[in-house]
Amino acid sequence: MTWRIAAASVAGTSHAKTGRPCQDSVRVRLVKATRGPALVVAVSDGAGSAAHSEIGSDNAVATVTDLIANYLETGAEIAGLEREVALNWLAQIQSKLSGIAAEAETSVKEFACTLLIAIVGTESAAFIQVGDGAMVVREEGDDGWSYVFWPQHGEYINSTNFVTSPDAAAAMEFACVNRKVVSISSFSDGIESLVLNYATKTVHDPFFNAMIGPVREVATEGLDHGLSESLARYLGSDRICERTDDDKSLVIATCVPSTSSDTNAAT
């Protein structure tokens, strides 16, 4: 089995009006693990109130994907991943952002961002979350999609937790499951209201069923840049922007049978 992936981040229309860049960041990576390629997905949403949150989100996803790759490439198993290891990764991300803030002579709060992490192997998966946005999955044999963690919101829908917060470790959600995940989507809070039903705490299956079809048809393993560009255009379309003016990130990935044209995309 191999992974087909599309991923995109686009700036919201509210940012276009103010000239601010997209504060979301995404990284996807296939890593050589002991039981075959493991999919690593990281999505981060920079806080709109923070001056340099796009730098924070970019460094958060880059740092954590490197840490996870090092973990897996040394022979560690996804199934054996413990919360303490994830907390150590969070601490290293915080240290990285604190160092950048010190160099810029400003507060680390100006680099505030959320973080969603998925590590999916052949028979097990691990998930980590600080903040809003969400990850939804389909396990082998499932007809529909289910969320991993419900988005972390405070008293108000636009308040959440950030990796730069002093209580980030307490807010961090962690799960490691010995089940076969065959499809996954991770997204920032910019599209939450489009794909989640807050009243019933359910996933809008038709959206993800429609999105996964083109990904499944991709010819080669790994991140497909052409499909990712199409996804970016869709997220930036009037149809979507009429419903949300926030930055939007979306990763869609699905596992399909290997073919002779597949290349070894794990790095």
pLDDT computed for residue 34 by the predictor: 86
Domain count for the chain = 1
Look up residue 218 and give its amino acid: V
Residue 224 lies in a domain: yes
* Domain of residue 22, CATH code: 3.60.40.10
Residue 104 lies in a domain: yes
pLDDT computed for residue 261 by the predictor: 54
Residue 195 lies in a domain: yes
Total-model pTM: 0.94
**Angle at CA of residue 61, ends 256 and 164, nearest 5°:** 140
Cα distances (Å, whole numbers) of residue 216 to 160, 176, 235, 238: 33, 25, 19, 26
pLDDT computed for residue 260 by the predictor: 53
Residue 261 lies in a domain: no
Please answer whether residues 47 and 126 qualify as being in contact, where contact means their C-beta atoms are separated by less than 8 angstroms.
no
Q: Which residues contact 101 (CB under 8 A, 6 or more apart)?
A: 107, 108, 110, 111
The alpha-carbon radius of gyration of the chain (Å, integer) is 17
pLDDT computed for residue 157 by the predictor: 59
Per the listing, tokens 């920032």 go with 188
pLDDT computed for residue 31 by the predictor: 96
pLDDT (tens digit per residue) in 74-99: 999 999 999 999 999 999 999 999 99
Per-residue DSSP letters for 80-129? G--HHHHHHHHHHHHHHHHHHHHHHTS-GGGG-B-EEEEEE-SS-EEEEE
Domain enclosing residue 174, as ranges: 2-256
Strands, E assignment, the chain: 2-10, 24-33, 36-45, 115-120, 125-130, 134-139, 146-147, 173-177, 181-187, 196-197, 202-203, 222-223, 248-256
Residue 265 lies in a domain: no
Residue 233 lies in a domain: yes
Residue 264 lies in a domain: no
Residue 73 lies in a domain: yes
pLDDT computed for residue 264 by the predictor: 47
Mean pLDDT by 10 residues, the chain (267 residues): 94 83 96 91 95 97 98 95 98 98 98 98 96 97 94 78 96 96 97 95 97 94 97 97 95 85 50
